[in-house]
């Protein structure tokens, strides 16, 4: 979603603000802007388009100052243009940036217009600026005025404001949209993601739900939503800021695809000891909770939802336990029936996904035995809201289309399944077999990566196509779904995925020589069924690309291109087959010339509904 950066220092902060925005570009945006206190007034520059255009504008019209805020906007209310870009202002003294959605903005806008305020934009954010300006008529403290303003707001917000009449501070508020404060020497910073601030500080404090803060050069004051003083220490981050450097790779996405052997090894580190899964890494109460489980409910969105669907196959096969999987945006708005002794599992890369976080909060009142989140961000809201946490250790993922985070989620979910199984008496031979597969997984992923050049050549067959069909069976069906999503996201080719057994129930009508059909074909118990599905497509003139295990005995012929995949273990095959699917989508997008790392209309972290 949108990105926020703020700074108050003894030095010029304009370069810090722009660099912070560049580090948040991965989140997705369509405009950018800064507001800096300079010569006793707030000066503002905004541009539609990329941060580079804002940077060029600042070169033409430099603004120097020690207090400023900046923002990258992803349009929700109002068109993506300069007028709607943040920061927004009220009169000449209040400037504000905001992530989230103010649901009662129409009502507030009418009230403010009646009081004489004029609106320049179509955004919900401008309402906050005018509300804050109005609140300052009753409060001499900017912090108290912001606290009073938050009482009027309904919806989600992470917001930072500055006031030209009080240039020794900035104020921040958080409800449903993350904000972090960074501490320097005689200077402080604010951002929606600590990645933005790593070049200037490694000490961070995350605002909790409903909190507001006043940030100064010499410190900060933190208040609860009730106005009570809150004491909390800053913590040092071990996140590497070079995660936002592409290195030798053309795109972040390609870099992150090639990081996956190391990511898998990191995810397994310390969780497999002496060839056994170590339950205690999930928390001291994990084993006790797992012993009582009779069912699992998993909630996720997008790529994380596909990871959940794979986990459902594992859980029901090995644990013989019902596993329900649902899209978060659907779950949160319907009445649900909770199975007895259920574990509520959320999956999210950022830990701030709005629909998933709302579902987690809803679940707390529905009688679940416990909650667990699979997440890549240790300081996120979902981690704080959940009873148990399984961190994926994927590192910062900059490309909007998820790659290494997906693989790390799959590995983590497999570890979770085995951990629950151990607590409920899983056969040690079964555990040993799964652990062996996991220990070999980094090598098998590397074997797939070694075929990148061949996949790049193969991708040429898709460059002029407008549609693609992906097929899979069993635990590979969600992998086909993820592959279709990747192709859609970054190449803008329309793609669909089907369980291969569904071909006769409609999709065969789509088959012709202009519709490439990609098949995921490991050597498992469904292989013979899948071969029949391949023949159904071939006999109707379809153009097939089959990613098959070397032992699958699927022969290349007219209309069938076979790409060999090394996958020794059935249970980890979803992770192995994911790699060529990611590479295929990447190379097709490169050929088509799309913006691979920042595809149109998409955002990395979806922190609004």
Q: How far is the C-alpha of 462 from the C-alpha of 597, rounded, in Å?
A: 19
- Helix runs in 93-228, H state only: 105-114, 125-135, 142-150
Q: What is the pLDDT of residues 455-506, one digit of tens each?
A: 999 999 998 889 999 998 899 999 999 999 999 999 999 999 988 887 778 8
Bond from prior residue into 89 cis (ω within 30 degrees of 0) = no
Tokens 């922190």, residue? 607
Bond from prior residue into 420 cis (ω within 30 degrees of 0) = no
What is the mean pLDDT of the segment spanning 386-403? 88
- Helix runs in 155-270, H state only: 252-258, 260-268
pLDDT class of 290 with cuts at 50, 70, 90? very high
The pLDDT value recorded for residue 352 is 86
Please check whether residue 95 is in contact with residue 47, taking contact to mean a CB–CB distance below 8 angstroms: no
pLDDT class of 605 with cuts at 50, 70, 90? low
The pLDDT value recorded for residue 243 is 60
Q: How far is the C-alpha of 418 from the C-alpha of 491, rounded, in Å?
A: 37
- Tell me the β-bridge partners of 549: 565
Which DSSP letter does residue 508 get? G
Q: What is the mean pLDDT of the chain?
A: 90
Q: What is the pLDDT of residues 69-86, one digit of tens each?
A: 999 987 777 788 999 999
Question: Could you tell me the two tokens for 504?
Answer: 């006769």
Q: Which residues are catalytic?
A: 2, 604
| The pLDDT of residue 541 is above 80 | no
What is the mean pLDDT of the segment spanning 64-73? 95
Q: How far is the C-alpha of 281 from the C-alpha of 419, rounded, in Å?
A: 10
CA-nearest of 417, 413, 438, 418 to 428 is 418
Angstrom CA distances, 511 to 44, 408, 496, 538, stand at: 55, 34, 12, 9
Please check whether residue 45 is in contact with residue 87, taking contact to mean a CB–CB distance below 8 angstroms: no
pLDDT class of 162 with cuts at 50, 70, 90? very high
Maximal CA-CA distance, the chain: 79
The pLDDT value recorded for residue 203 is 94
Pairing of strands 276-277, 94-102: unpaired
Q: What is the pLDDT of residues 246-283, one digit of tens each?
A: 778 899 999 999 999 989 998 988 788 778 898 878 87
Q: How far is the C-alpha of 360 from the C-alpha of 379, rounded, in Å?
A: 16
CA-nearest of 89, 88, 108 to 149 is 108
Query: The whole model's pTM is what?
Result: 0.71
- Helix runs in 259-394, H state only: 260-268, 286-291, 302-314, 328-331, 354-363, 381-385
Q: What is the pLDDT of residues 190-216, one digit of tens each?
A: 998 888 899 999 999 999 889 999 999
| The pLDDT of residue 600 is above 90 | no
Q: Is 411 exposed, middle or buried (0-12, 13-18, 19+ CB in 10 A)?
A: buried
SS3 state of residue 378 = coil
The pLDDT value recorded for residue 540 is 76
The pLDDT value recorded for residue 396 is 80
| The pLDDT of residue 300 is above 80 | yes
Question: Could you tell me the two tokens for 188?
Answer: 């402080």
The string of DSSP codes covering 566-594 is ----STTHHHHHHHHHHHHHHHHHHHHT-
CA-nearest of 130, 25, 1 to 76 is 1
User: Helices 260-268 and 428-449 sit at what angle, rounded to 10 degrees?
Assistant: 160
558-568: buried (b, 16+ CB within 10 Å) or exposed (e) per residue? Answer: eebebbbbbbb
| The pLDDT of residue 322 is above 90 | yes
φ and ψ of 320, to 5 deg: 55, 40
Q: How far is the C-alpha of 583 from the C-alpha of 446, rounded, in Å?
A: 13
Q: What is the pLDDT of residues 542-579, one digit of tens each?
A: 788 888 887 777 777 777 888 889 888 999 999 999 99
């Amino acid at each position: 979603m949108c990105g926020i950066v703020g700074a108050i220092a003894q030095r010029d902060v304009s370069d810090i603000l722009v660099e912070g925005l560049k580090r948040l570009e991965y989140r997705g945006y369509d405009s950018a802007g800064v507001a800096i206190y300079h010569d006793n007034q707030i000066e503002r520059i905004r541009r539609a388009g990329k941060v580079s255009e804002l940077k060029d504008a600042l070169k033409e019209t430099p603004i120097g100052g020690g207090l400023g805020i900046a923002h990258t906007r992803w349009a929700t209310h109002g068109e993506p243009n300069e007028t709607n870009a943040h920061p927004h202002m009220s009169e000449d003294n209040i400037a504000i940036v905001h992530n989230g959605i103010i649901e009662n903005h129409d009502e507030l806008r009418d009230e403010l217009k009646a009081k004489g305020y004029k609106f320049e934009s179509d955004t919900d954010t401008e309402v906050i600026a005018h509300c804050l300006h109005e609140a300052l008529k009753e409060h001499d403290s900017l912090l108290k005025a912001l606290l009073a303003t938050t009482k009027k707001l309904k919806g989600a917000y992470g917001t930072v404001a500055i006031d030209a009449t009080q240039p020794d501070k900035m104020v921040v508020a958080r409800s449903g949209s993350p904000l972090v404060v960074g501490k320097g020497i005689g200077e402080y910073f604010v951002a929606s993601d600590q990645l933005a601030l790593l070049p200037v500080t490694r000490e961070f404090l995350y605002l909790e739900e409903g909190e507001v803060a006043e940030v100064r050069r010499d410190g900060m004051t933190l208040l609860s939503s009730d106005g009570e003083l809150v004491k909390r220490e800053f913590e040092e981050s071990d996140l590497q800021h070079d995660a936002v450097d592409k290195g030798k790779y053309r795109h972040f996405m390609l870099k992150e695809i090639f990081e996956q052997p190391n990511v898998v090894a990191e995810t397994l580190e310390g969780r497999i000891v002496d060839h056994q899964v170590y339950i205690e890494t999930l928390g001291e109460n994990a084993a006790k909770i797992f012993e009582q489980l009779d069912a699992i409910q998993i909630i996720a969105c997008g790529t994380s939802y596909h990871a959940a669907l794979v986990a459902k196959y594992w859980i029901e096969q090995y644990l013989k336990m019902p596993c329900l999987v649902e899209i978060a945006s659907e779950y949160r708005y319907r009445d649900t029936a909770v199975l007895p002794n259920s574990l509520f599992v959320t999956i999210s890369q950022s830990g701030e996904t709005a629909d998933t976080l709302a579902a987690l909060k809803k679940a707390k009142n529905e009688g679940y035995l416990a909650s667990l989140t699979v997440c890549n961000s240790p300081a996120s809201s979902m981690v704080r809201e959940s009873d148990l946490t399984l961190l994926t250790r994927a590192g910062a993922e900059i490309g909007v289309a998820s790659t290494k985070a997906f693989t790390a989620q799959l590995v983590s979910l497999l570890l979770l399944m085995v951990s629950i199984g151990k607590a409920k008496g899983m056969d040690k031979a079964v555990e040993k077999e799964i652990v062996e597969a996991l220990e070999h997984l980094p090598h098998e992923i590397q074997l797939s990566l070694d075929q990148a050049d061949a996949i790049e050549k193969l991708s040429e067959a898709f460059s002029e196509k407008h549609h693609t069909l992906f097929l899979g069976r069993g635990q590979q069906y969600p992998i086909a779904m993820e592959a279709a999503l990747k192709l859609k996201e970054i190449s803008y080719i329309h793609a669909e995925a089907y369980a291969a057994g569904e071909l006769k129930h409609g999709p065969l009508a789509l088959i012709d020589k202009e519709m490439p059909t990609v098949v995921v074909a490991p050597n498992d118990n469904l292989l013979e069924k899948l071969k029949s599905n391949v023949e159904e497509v071939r006999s109707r003139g379809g153009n097939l690309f089959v990613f098959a295990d070397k032992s699958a005995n699927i022969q290349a012929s007219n209309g069938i291109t076979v790409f060999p995949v090394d996958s020794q273990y059935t249970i980890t095959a979803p992770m192995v087959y994911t790699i060529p699917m990611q590479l295929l989508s990447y190379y097709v997008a490169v050929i088509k010339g799309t913006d691979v790392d920042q595809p149109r209309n998409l955002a990395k972290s979806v922190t609004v509904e």
